[in-house]
């Protein structure tokens, strides 16, 4: 029988919900301000009149962003790099976690020590750059897929998931004539879908937001992902003139226009970069929460 809740419990609920509401408002306001600024007019943006609602609705920044080749091309590059890198990273992470979860693997401890060491030490930026260049991956899409493909934290998480699979399932499949590769793809993978969704989201978010590696390994703007272009627009204000018409650049109030338009363009680019990840997360949320909770309490 459920007891009636006391006054102390109700006070705690009020405090918790009040704090949660406050945090939600603090985190939501900047996003709403970014959206409103990106679709507001130049004068309200310059004077700081824009809050959480747009003032003098104006979608010109979005029109310019999607009509110019720079950001749409970078957006396509980001999607391609993220999809290819995430798929490759998830696959090899799973294929490495499977043998590392088996006690009969002879080199299990030695390999595991080497893997853990990479969490604290690496070869350094210059040796890695030279290796990527000598392998012919410089200024190529391969530089965004193959180097740094495995995150050890994700490998540990998948090892925990695989360890929780009853060995009797694999043994019965082998008695029926299944090979290790068949057991892996037909039995193991379907049972660890929450873990796969979790690391896939981790890899996708990391690759989508990565700007340092593309900045190093690419030398042409045509290959840059959205994050590099966005960084230059937000931090340096460059490329703004590419989104302005000739009449706007030649007008007497060009300096004022550039200042306002630069702000609107920055926020528009931010929205364009945020939307894909925000759209993907609800799809994987159910698996993600289950994967994080199971990986945290088991093993």
Q: Could you tell me the CATH number of the domain that includes residue 131? A: 1.10.3720.10
Same domain (yes/no): 130, 264: yes
At residue 235 the predicted structure's pLDDT band, cuts being 50, 70 and 90, is low
Among 78-87, 170-179, 192-201, which stretch is predicted with the lowest mean pLDDT? 170-179
pLDDT at position 240:
54
DSSP character at residue 120: T
pLDDT for residue 19 is more than 90? yes
Task: Name the token pair of 48.
Answer: 């700081």
pLDDT at position 84:
94
Query: Which residue has tokens 């302005």?
Result: 244
Same domain (yes/no): 41, 74: no
Same domain (yes/no): 136, 28: no
At residue 89 the predicted structure's pLDDT band, cuts being 50, 70 and 90, is very high
pLDDT for residue 243 is more than 60? no
pTM of the model: 0.76
**Rounded CA separation 148/175 (Å):** 38
Structural domain count of the chain? 2
Same domain (yes/no): 72, 201: yes
Same domain (yes/no): 136, 19: no
pLDDT for residue 86 is more than 90? yes
pLDDT at position 258:
67
Residue 103 domain boundaries: 60-297
**Rounded CA separation 37/143 (Å):** 36
Cβ distance 296 to 207 under 8 Å? no
In this prediction, residues 156-169 reach a mean pLDDT of 85
User: Going along 90-243, which residue ranges are E strands?
Assistant: none
Same domain (yes/no): 15, 120: no
Higher-scoring residue by pLDDT: 289, 144: 144
Higher-scoring residue by pLDDT: 248, 235: 235
pLDDT at position 270:
80
Among 14-23, 106-115, 188-197, 228-237, which stretch is predicted with the lowest mean pLDDT? 228-237
**Rounded CA separation 83/92 (Å):** 14
pLDDT at position 80:
93
At residue 284 the predicted structure's pLDDT band, cuts being 50, 70 and 90, is low
Same domain (yes/no): 163, 259: yes
The verdict on residue 54 lying in a domain is no
Same domain (yes/no): 43, 118: no
Same domain (yes/no): 153, 206: yes
Same domain (yes/no): 43, 78: no
SS3 169: helix
Cβ distance 83 to 141 under 8 Å? no
CA angle 267, 210, 97 (to 5 degrees): 140
The verdict on residue 55 lying in a domain is no
The verdict on residue 161 lying in a domain is yes
Measuring CA to CA, how many Å separate 214 from each of 129, 135, 137, 184? Answer: 12, 16, 12, 34
DSSP character at residue 251: S
The verdict on residue 52 lying in a domain is no
Task: Name the token pair of 257.
Answer: 């226009």
The verdict on residue 132 lying in a domain is yes
CA angle 56, 61, 63 (to 5 degrees): 110
Considering only the C-alpha atoms of the chain, give the largest distance between any 2 of them, rounded to a whole number of Å: 82
The verdict on residue 42 lying in a domain is yes
């Amino acid at each position: 029988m459920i007891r009636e809740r006391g006054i102390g419990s109700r006070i705690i609920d009020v405090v918790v919900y009040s704090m949660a509401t406050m945090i939600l408002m603090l985190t939501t306001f900047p996003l709403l301000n970014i959206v409103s600024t990106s679709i507001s007019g130049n004068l309200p943006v310059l004077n700081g009149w824009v809050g959480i609602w747009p003032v003098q609705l104006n979608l010109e920044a979005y029109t310019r962003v999607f009509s110019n080749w720079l950001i749409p091309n970078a957006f396509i590059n980001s999607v391609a790099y993220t999809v290819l890198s995430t798929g490759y990273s998830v696959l090899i992470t799973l294929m490495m976690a499977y043998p590392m979860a088996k006690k009969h693997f002879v080199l299990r401890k030695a390999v595991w020590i080497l893997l853990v060491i990479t969490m604290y030490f690496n070869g350094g930026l210059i040796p890695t750059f030279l290796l990527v260049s000598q392998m012919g991956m410089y200024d190529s899409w391969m530089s965004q897929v193959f180097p740094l493909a495995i995150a050890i934290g994700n490998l540990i998480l998948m090892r925990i998931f695989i360890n929780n699979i009853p060995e009797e399932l694999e043994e019965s499949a082998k008695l029926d004539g299944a090979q290790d590769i068949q057991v892996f793809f037909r039995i193991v993978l379907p049972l660890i879908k929450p873990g796969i969704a979790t690391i896939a989201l981790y890899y996708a978010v990391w690759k989508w937001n990565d700007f340092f590696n593309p900045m190093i390994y690419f030398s042409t703007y045509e290959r840059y992902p959205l994050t590099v272009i966005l960084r230059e627009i937000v931090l340096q204000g460059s490329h703004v003139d590419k989104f302005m018409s000739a009449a706007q650049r030649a007008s007497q109030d060009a300096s004022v226009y550039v200042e306002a338009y630069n702000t609107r363009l920055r926020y528009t680019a931010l929205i364009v970069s945020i939307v894909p990840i925000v759209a993907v997360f609800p799809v994987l949320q159910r698996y993600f929460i289950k994967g994080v909770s199971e990986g945290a309490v088991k093993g």
